């Protein structure tokens, strides 16, 4: 179709979501996140500034990492440069910078590994693509390993399952170790240690927020739904990203969780000590920091004496919870083995829906024509339910249960092939806005397709980072910033609480419509 | 003279190949996998994960998902190579097993398919800009080396045949330390020298993908972290206890 008159020729919002760009060498070499300052670095146990012998220290750290990770060692050795991954990264598709092709990104680290840890690279560096860790290479590391959202899309398509996330985690760990940390992640991890959550919300503010939400729900429904904090003896500890306490559309999701938990009739609580599900320790590849963050959740669960752990909507947090928590902070054998340890809120809600315990008025979502964005860490690094792929089926089943108009986006952009929101992996920071906007291009184009074909108006997500990222980039692609919704916001809209105004209205309507014979 | 040089060369090449591969396999096996990182959706049982790896090895499942052309050329090359290798077993085994006898007629066809697939892979490297960008000298050299082995092998079949009875005696002599003379046809000497070179290069090159594919944690781990605890390495275990 010809471009509409007046449309810019560089309209990036339309076209094939996975359209190949022309190579643009060095196009993104100036994209760099702000560096962490000395205080942020030392709070995490890293040197405050670039250490004097940074080269030797970096090589030594690389050696430690390779010796400590089978994944890294196998992936460094195994790549055959087949090219299968070259067109799979959303940052490459959006920027055209060849160093954003997964294999080229990996090679930034691989060339140094070859130079120092392989015989061929020591003897014939020019032949096998080995290279020294020069200042230039280090600058490339800082730039391009902060252009990877660790979304694992490349890993799905690699014949050896090589996961570029493992490379960017390792490279960030090395850079932290020599005093070259990134501000956004390290500052946030510091806040978690100091205050308990990424946003730095103190307990008092948290309490006030929860009280405000309770009032809001009661006003809307006439039902007193609790959002308890630090309630000892509760059965369920609910851990959710702190964005849920703070901004839209996250908060609407939190209201949804609260309504579901209320309707389930369980005793649950949030924790001020573990008032954050996110774990940015993963993004910076630091097992030590990831473990320290994860242990807060264990401690909160033990201190409050809960029997179950349920997590709110957050992609990488669910990866850490589902795949790593038991390893890092376990064994979690003090929890009730009759329930999944841990459980995702979507699993919790779907379980109730299947048992017929929730009542919905789907017409409350009739103004919405919905699609669903599979968040990368949920899609490719975790599971829901008992069967592989439950992480795709369960959220969709929940959404279909609460909404009449649901449409999937193009098959090669969803489920295991989902394209990242563009802001994951510790890149959700303003100075990377250009990268984030370009990285969102495949998803935005896929959304444009269903908007035009099916009149889709909204996109649901189950990740705080996705939601925050889309709120920012949707307007850049001609969508309303409120087109992004929480999955449990949709649940919240449609759920009919027992004894609520909505229940009365619905019953009255049903009564009036009932046949009189 | 050629017999002594080639006998020594093949003992050396075999030692490097076996020793080098054993070293890497040992290192892959003993390096810890601190976290459970299967690319999901993944099988939930270890048997399922083993089957997943088997599908990768035999069918190149992920590559098929990724790019049909690379899959076609890559898979065709590897299958052809397998048939060619199987066919060559007749020089190593006496009596010749039935399976090896069975593939004999297909060997030449497989040899041509192998060379053709290599040519296609090389063309792809040169023509597709993205792939050209990521290709280094060793990537082209590897294609050239294996291609030259294939071509010299086909030459031995169709152009300059050698005394294969004597060749078999030489090969069996190497195995049983009962050395016999090697026929000195130039095509054969080239073919064998290139094969020895490939054996020597194998453990120092990207050909490590052969053992690597079996050790890839994103493919060989089961997705069962809620059912079975993935024990942490000692370093993290100690930190957890301290906390």
B66 touches A: beta carbon within 8 Å:
yes
pLDDT for A416 = 97
Q: How much is the pLDDT for A1?
A: 39
The reply to whether A499 falls in a domain is: no
State the DSSP H helix or E strand holding residue A269, giving kind and residue range, or none if neither: strand A268-269
Half-sphere exposure for A494 (CA within 13 Å, toward CB): 24
Q: Which of B26, B66, B200, B221 to mutate to test the interface with A (most CBs of A within 10 A)?
A: B66
d(C-alpha A102, C-alpha A163), whole Å: 9
Chains A and B: how many Cβ contacts under 8 Å? 222
Whether residue B15 has pLDDT greater than 70: yes
> Is residue A23 in some structural domain?
no
- On whether residue B147 sits in a domain, the answer given is yes
Q: Is residue A20 part of a domain?
A: no
8 Å CB contact of A103 and B67: no
* Residue B175 lies inside a defined structural domain of this protein: yes
Contact A161, A20 (CB under 8 A): no
The answer to whether position B234 is within a domain reads no
**Residue A317 predicted with pLDDT over 70:** yes
Q: Mean pLDDT lowest for which of A126-135, A193-202, A307-316, B67-76?
A: A193-202
Q: Are residues A153 and A220 in the same domain?
A: no
Task: Read off the pLDDT of residues A388-401 as tens digits, 9 standing for 90 and up.
Answer: 999 999 999 999 99
Domain check: are A50 and A195 in the same one?
no
Bond prior to B95 in cis (omega within 30° of 0): yes
* Structure ipTM: 0.96
Residue of A160, A165, A295, A302 for testing the chain B interface, max B β-carbons within 10 Å:
A160
Give the closest-approach CA distance of A424 to chain B in angstroms. Answer: 17
A193 and A176 assigned to the same domain = no
| Domain annotation covers residue B241 | no
Q: Give the residue-averaged pLDDT of A64-69.
A: 97
CB contact under 8 A, A68 and B233: yes
- Tally of CA atoms within 13 A in the half-sphere of B128 that contains its CB: 22
Sheet architecture: strand order including A484-486: A370-372, A458-461, A484-486
**What number is the average pLDDT over the span A365-384?**
98
Show residues of chain A in contact with B146, CB under 8 Å.
none
Residues A195 and A166 reside in one and the same domain: no
Interface test with A, best of B58, B118, B212 (most A CBs within 10 A): B212
Looking at every residue in chain A, the average pLDDT score rounds to 95
Residues A90 and A236 in one domain: no
Domain-terminating residue out of A149, A181, A213: A181
Q: Please indicate whether, in this complex, the C-beta atoms of A166 and B243 are within 8 angstroms of each other.
A: no
Residue B79, SS3 per DSSP: helix
pLDDT in tens, A2-20: 444 434 445 788 999 999 9
Of A181, A198, A216, which residue constitutes the final position of a domain? A181
My answer on whether A295 and A344 are in the same domain is: yes
Q: Is residue A45 located within the same domain as residue A156?
A: yes
Residues of A in contact with B213 (CB under 8 A): 78, 159-160
Is residue B216 one of the residues assigned to a domain? yes
Which range marks the domain in which residue A69 is found?
38-181
How many Cβ atoms from other residues are within 10 Å of residue A220's Cβ?
A: 16
Q: Mark out the alpha helices in A145-277 (DSSP H runs).
A: 153-157, 164-177, 183-194, 203-221, 250-264
Inside any domain, residue B49? yes
Domain match, A160 and A196 both: no
pLDDT at A514 over 80: no
For B178-191, the pLDDT digits (tens) are 999 999 999 999 99
Rounded CA-CA distance A418/A437 in Å is 17
In chain A, the number of structural domains is 2
Instruction: Please identify, among A131, A164, A181, the residue that sits at the C-terminal boundary of a domain.
Output: A181
Q: Give the CATH number for residue B214.
A: 1.20.950.20
Q: From the list B37, B40, B204, which residue is nearest A71 (CB)?
A: B37
The answer to whether residue B13 is domain-embedded is yes
Please tell me if residue B88 touches chain A, with a CB cutoff of 8 Å: no
Do residue A269 and residue A308 come from a single domain?
yes
Q: Which residues of A touch B240 (CB under 8 A)?
A: 291, 295, 328-330
Distance CA A226, CA A210 (A): 8
pLDDT in tens, A145-186: 999 999 999 999 999 999 999 999 999 999 999 999 999 999
Domain hosting residue B52, numbered range: 2-30+43-224
Cβ <8 Å between B65 and A157:
yes
Containing H/E element for A309? strand A308-311
- Test the A interface: residue of B16, B21, B33, B35 with most A CBs within 10 Å: B35
Assess whether pLDDT exceeds 80 at residue A266. yes
Partners of A35 in the β-ladder: A182
Same domain, A151 and A225: no
Rounded CA separation A202/A215 (Å): 20
Q: In sequence order, what are the residues at sequence separation of 6 or more whose Cβ sits closer than 8 angstroms to the Cβ of residue A414? A: A372, A373, A374, A392, A408, A446
Establish if A6 belongs to a structural domain. no
- How many domains, in total, are found in chain B? 1
The answer to whether residue A113 is domain-embedded is yes
Asked whether residue A147 falls in the same domain as residue A244, the answer is no
**pLDDT tens-place string over residues B188-217:** 999 999 999 999 999 999 999 999 999 999
Both A348 and A441 in one domain: the answer is yes
Determine contact: B43 vs chain A, CB below 8 A: yes
Is residue B181 included in any domain, yes or no? Answer: yes
Q: Is B126 on the interface with A (CB under 8 A)?
A: no
């Amino acid at each position: 179709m010809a471009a509409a008159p007046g449309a810019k020729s560089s309209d990036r919002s339309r076209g094939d979501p996975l359209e190949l760009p022309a190579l643009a060498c060095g196009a993104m070499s100036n994209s760099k996140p702000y560096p962490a300052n000395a205080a942020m670095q030392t709070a995490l146990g890293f040197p405050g500034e670039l250490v004097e012998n940074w080269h030797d220290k970096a090589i030594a750290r690389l050696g430690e990492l390779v010796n400590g990770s089978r994944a890294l060692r196998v992936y460094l050795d195994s790549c055959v440069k087949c090219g299968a991954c070259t067109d799979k990264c959303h940052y490459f598709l959006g920027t055209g910078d060849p160093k954003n092709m997964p294999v080229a990104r990996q090679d930034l680290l691989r060339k140094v590994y070859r130079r120092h840890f392989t015989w061929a690279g020591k003897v014939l560096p020019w032949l096998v693509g080995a290279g020294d860790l020069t200042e230039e290479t280090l600058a490339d590391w800082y730039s391009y390993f902060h252009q990877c959202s660790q979304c694992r899309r490349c890993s799905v398509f690699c014949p050896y399952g090589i996961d570029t996330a493992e490379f960017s985690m390792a490279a960030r760990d090395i850079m932290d170790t020599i005093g070259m940390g990134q501000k956004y992640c390290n500052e946030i991890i510091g806040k978690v240690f100091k205050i308990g959550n990424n946003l730095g919300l103190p307990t008092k503010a948290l309490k006030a927020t929860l009280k405000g939400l309770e009032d809001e729900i009661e006003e809307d429904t006439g039902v007193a739904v609790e959002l308890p904090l630090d309630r000892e003896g509760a059965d369920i500890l609910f851990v959710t990203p702190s964005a849920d306490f703070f901004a839209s559309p996250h908060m609407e999701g939190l209201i949804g969780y609260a309504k579901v938990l209320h309707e389930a009739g369980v005793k649950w609580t949030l924790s001020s000590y573990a008032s954050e599900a996110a774990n940015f320790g993963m993004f910076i590849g630091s097992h030590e920091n990831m473990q320290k963050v994860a242990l807060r959740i264990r401690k909160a669960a033990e201190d409050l004496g809960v029997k179950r752990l349920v997590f709110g909507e957050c992609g990488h947090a669910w990866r850490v919870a589902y795949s790593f928590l038991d390893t890092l902070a376990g064994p979690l054998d003090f929890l009730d083995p009759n329930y999944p340890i841990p459980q995702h809120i979507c699993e919790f809600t779907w379980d109730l829906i299947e048992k017929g315990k929730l009542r919905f008025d789907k017409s409350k979502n009739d103004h919405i024509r919905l699609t669903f964005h599979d968040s990368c860490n949920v899609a490719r690094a975790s599971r829901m339910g008992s069967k592989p792929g439950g992480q795709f089926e369960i959220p969709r089943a929940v959404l279909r249960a609460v909404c009449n108009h649901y449409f999937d986006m193009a098959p090669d952009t969803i489920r295991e092939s989902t394209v990242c929101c563009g802001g994951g992996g510790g890149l959700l920071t303003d100075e990377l806005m250009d990268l984030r906007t370009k990285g969102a291009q495949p998803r935005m184009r896929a959304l444009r397709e269903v908007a035009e074909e099916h009149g889709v108006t909204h996109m649901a997500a189950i990740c705080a980072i996705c939601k925050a990222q889309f709120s920012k980039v949707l307007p850049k692609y001609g969508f309303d910033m409120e087109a992004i919704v929480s999955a449990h916001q949709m649940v919240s809209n449609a759920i009919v609480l027992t004894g609520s105004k909505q229940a009365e209205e619905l019953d009255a309507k049903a009564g009036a419509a009932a046949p009189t014979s | 003279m050629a017999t002594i040089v080639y006998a020594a060369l093949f003992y050396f090449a075999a030692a490097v190949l076996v020793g080098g591969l054993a070293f890497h396999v040992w290192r892959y096996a003993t390096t810890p996998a601190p976290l459970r990182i299967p690319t999901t959706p993944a099988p939930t049982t270890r048997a399922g994960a083993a089957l997943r790896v088997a599908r990768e090895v035999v069918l190149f499942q992920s590559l098929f998902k990724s790019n049909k052309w690379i899959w076609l050329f890559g898979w065709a090359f590897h299958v052809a190579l397998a048939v060619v290798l199987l066919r060559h077993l007749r020089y190593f085994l006496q009596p010749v097993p039935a399976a090896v006898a069975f593939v004999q007629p297909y060997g030449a066809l497989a040899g041509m398919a192998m060379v053709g697939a290599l040519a296609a892979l090389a063309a792809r490297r040169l023509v597709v800009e993205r792939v050209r960008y990521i290709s280094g000298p060793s990537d082209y050299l590897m294609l050239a080396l294996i291609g030259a082995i294939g071509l010299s092998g086909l030459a031995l079949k169709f152009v300059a045949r050698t005394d294969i009875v004597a060749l078999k005696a030489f090969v069996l002599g190497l195995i049983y330390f009962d050395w016999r003379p090697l026929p000195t046809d130039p095509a054969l000497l080239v073919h064998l020298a290139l094969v020895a070179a490939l054996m020597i290069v194998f453990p120092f090159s990207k050909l490590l993908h052969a053992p690597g594919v079996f050790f890839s944690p994103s493919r060989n781990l089961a997705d069962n972290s809620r059912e079975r605890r993935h024990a942490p390495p000692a370093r993290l275990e100690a930190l957890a206890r301290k906390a």
